[in-house]
Amino acid sequence: MENLFRRLSSERVPIRVHDVIIQGNTKTKESLIEAEMEALKSATTLQELLKAASIANARLQHLDIFDSVKITLDSGPPELPGTTNVVVEIVESENPLTGSVGVFSKPEARAWSLEGSLKLKNLFGYGDIWDGSLAYGLDLTSEVSAGVSLPRFKKLITPVTARLSLLSQDWLKFSSYKERALGLSLGLLSSRSHDLSYSLAWRTLADPSQMSSRAVRRQLGHSLISALKYTFKIDRRNSPLRPTRGYAFLSSSQIGGLLPDHRGLRFLRQELDFRYALPLGFYNAAFNIGISAGVTVPWGSGFLSRPTYLPEKFFLGGNSSPVCALGGPSSLLGFKTRGLGPAEPRRQVTENSNDESSDASSAIDFVGGDLAVTAFADLSFDLPLRVLREAGIHGHAFACTGSLNKLTENAYKDLSLQKFKESFRASAGFGVIVPTKLFRMEVNYCYILKQQEHDRGKTGVQFSFSSSF
């Protein structure tokens, strides 16, 4: 055995795969397993074969339809020296039906949601996974969806997904409208760094309160969304929940209005996101910085004189950590959800009673912006108590800034460099972070450094839950 290991480390051992033998698949099609084993057939040395077998094993496990996967190398036919037979032993999932249910909280919105899902695996033997999910959020969001994913479809080497969903979102408190969308999404390309998807949705905006601002009222009604979205993502950080070294970059491009329908919405949307983590060498400390930017505009003749569709605009605020997920500009610690940026007064309703009149509340609607920029700096470090370090609980200090501006309806003409600088809001603070396998919980003290008249920023203690998804 020692001689074998010495030979493997010092010289290339020539070998060729004679056959791939699959065992244990009662339902799964052999073609699916053989496709994942294709790279082994091109190996010319034992070292290459072992590496390819390890990758194939991981890919088969990633299909999430097997309880176990074992790949062994057996000797080939005696008349063919220097060959091997690859034996793939699989154990298919004993129970193809799985489910989960959970209750999730959003402290910044003072709301909770009940979410449940069911999965049926490998129904037709092609590695297909069928799933249905239900999410009900008090006062915010409800969604019912069903979908299917195929790891390989015909000659395509990337997974294909399809999903039908009914989404309802309540933004009355922030922007005086409710949104409902019935849509179909197709995942056309999915790899480690690239993702291409198409979505088709029938969307309705309504205002039951009849108090919405003029900017919201003129966009109420039905619309058709037909959009293609491409995302490029690289994440070289050692952890998305507590990164101490590495970098990450995301670019997302979307074009809407691909169908020749007068109700179709035409828009372009571009988002960029960059993160960098620098280890400091003491107390497991790390300095994280990040910057996000996004722009969205209609397209077509005279596009800058027309308004951007409301749900496609950028909205800033909320207490989710900017360190974790990559997704464009959105979070700004210390500010409430949809708590800053362009705003318009809601309609004032006058009621006459006994020759007396009274005006309704002069609240405002946050109507979002076309150009968004956010940035943050975060210093994380271990706490002195050993029991906290062993649990991964650590401290951090942070500073955030962000800007949200309007470009369309010729507003870009009034946006000078000075006004752009003045549009930035800022906050800073410190807190304690409790990481888990699924999410990151933070207890922060936030201090508002700069806000404008109608912004909803608040100095004080805030809780947040963030995930890397």
State residue 282 phi and psi, 5-degree precision. -145, 145
366 neighbors 318 (Cβ within 8 angstroms): no
Q: Which residues lie across from 439 on neighbouring strands?
A: none
Cα separation, 239 vs 390, whole angstroms: 17
Residue-wise pLDDT tens for the chain (469 aa)? 455 556 555 667 788 888 888 998 888 888 888 888 888 888 888 888 888 888 989 988 988 889 899 998 888 888 888 888 889 999 988 888 888 887 665 544 455 678 888 999 988 888 899 999 998 876 667 889 999 998 876 666 778 899 999 999 889 888 999 999 999 999 988 888 999 999 999 999 999 988 899 999 999 999 999 999 999 999 999 988 889 999 999 999 999 988 877 778 899 999 999 999 999 989 899 999 999 999 999 988 888 888 899 999 999 988 788 888 788 888 899 999 898 999 999 987 655 544 443 333 358 999 999 999 999 999 999 998 999 988 889 999 999 999 999 998 888 888 899 999 999 999 999 999 998 776 788 899 999 999 998 899 999 998 887 765 5
Residues ≥6 apart with Cβ < 8 Å to 319: 107, 108, 331, 333, 334, 442, 444, 462, 463, 464
Cα separation, 145 vs 164, whole angstroms: 6
Q: What is the DSSP string of 227-259?
A: EEEEEEEEE--S-SSS--SEEEEEEEEEEE--S
Displacement of CA 277 from its chain's centroid (Å): 20
Q: What does the angle CA 92 – CA 115 – CA 209 come to, to the nearest 5 degrees?
A: 150
Buried b (16+ CB within 10 A) or exposed e, 260-275: eeeeebbbbbebbbbb
Ramachandran quadrant class, 131 (left: phi over 0; alpha: psi -120 to 50; beta: rest): beta
Q: What does the angle CA 165 – CA 168 – CA 195 come to, to the nearest 5 degrees?
A: 45
168 neighbors 179 (Cβ within 8 angstroms): yes
Q: In Å, what is the CA distance from 232 to each residue of 241, 249, 273, 294, 327?
A: 20, 8, 11, 15, 11
**What is the pTM for the complete model shown?**
0.82
Q: Which residues lie across from 25 on neighbouring strands?
A: none
Cα separation, 191 vs 230, whole angstroms: 12
Tokens 């082994």, residue located: 40
Q: Which domains does the chain have, with CATH numbers?
A: 2-92 (3.10.20.310), 171-349+357-466 (2.40.160.50)
Cβ count within 10 A of residue 225 = 22
Label residue 29 exposed, middle or buried (CB < 10 Å: 0-12, 13-18, 19+).
middle
pLDDT at 109: 47
Label residue 437 exposed, middle or buried (CB < 10 Å: 0-12, 13-18, 19+).
exposed
343 neighbors 364 (Cβ within 8 angstroms): yes
